[in-house]
Structure formats: C-alpha cells, structure tokens
C-alpha cells in the first residue's frame, strides 16, 4: 500500500488592488531590479507610484513573467514583448466579453 503525502501550498492572491515595492516585485518574479527598470523604460509595466519609491500593482507580476517568457522562449526583445503582452491582454478581454454575452444569450 502506497501512502500519499500532501503538501500545503500557500500564496498571496495578487490583483490590480495589490501593491508591491520594487524589491517585492523583484522577489516575486525572480529578477534583479535592473530588469524591472528595463521593463518600465520599455513600457511593459508602469509603476503605480514613483515617489518616494516605486510601487507596482499585482498585475505587474504577470506582465513581467510574460515578458521574460516571450524573451526566453521566442527571442522577443522587450519592445516586442510589450506589444505582444498588450495584444494578449486584449484577446483575453475580448474572450471574457464574448463569454459574458454567450451566458446572457443562454438565459
């Protein structure tokens, strides 16, 4: 008989209302501050607050990870990643809108 072990997984839900400092964003994404700064300069992410220190919304974690996935897997530069992420997010918005319309139609 095989005994299964279960591990407890915990985490924090990050959304538009969440706020991360630059160092917290670096830790969450596993990248150095220089990489985050490059993403800000390229327009991939935007600090919610710049003074006295940069703070970012929780959504930036997803955008940073997507940018580096595009860069690593497809060789896309940061400018291309910024455009690709905007297009991917627009597709997601349209799909969500379409799903809502289909739900209304079924009622």
pLDDT averages per 10-residue partition of the chain, 107 residues: 66 69 94 95 91 91 94 94 94 96 88
Question: Can you give the C-alpha Rg of the chain in angstroms?
Answer: 18
Domain boundaries, the chain: 19-106
pLDDT score recorded for residue 24: 94
pLDDT score recorded for residue 9: 57
> Is CATH 1.10.1660.10 correct for 19-106?
yes
* pTM for this prediction: 0.76
Helix (H, G, I), strand (E, B) or coil at 107: coil
Query: What is the distance in angstroms between the CA of the first residue and the CA of the last residue of the chain?
Result: 49
**Residues in Cβ contact with 46 at an 8 Å cutoff, skipping those fewer than 6 apart:** 40
pLDDT score recorded for residue 5: 73
**39 burial via Cβ count (<10 Å: 0-12, 13-18, 19+):** buried
pLDDT score recorded for residue 51: 84
């Amino acid at each position: 008989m095989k005994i299964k072990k279960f591990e407890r997984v915990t985490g924090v839900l990050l959304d538009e209302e969440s706020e991360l400092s630059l160092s917290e964003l670096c830790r969450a994404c596993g990248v150095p501050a220089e990489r985050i700064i490059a993403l800000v300069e390229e327009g991939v992410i935007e600090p919610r607050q710049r003074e006295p220190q940069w703070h970012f919304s929780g959504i930036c974690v997803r955008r940073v990870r997507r940018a580096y996935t595009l860069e690593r897997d497809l060789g896309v530069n940061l400018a291309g990643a910024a455009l690709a992420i905007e297009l991917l997010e627009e597709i997601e918005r349209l799909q969500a809108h379409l799903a809502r319309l289909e739900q209304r139609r079924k009622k």
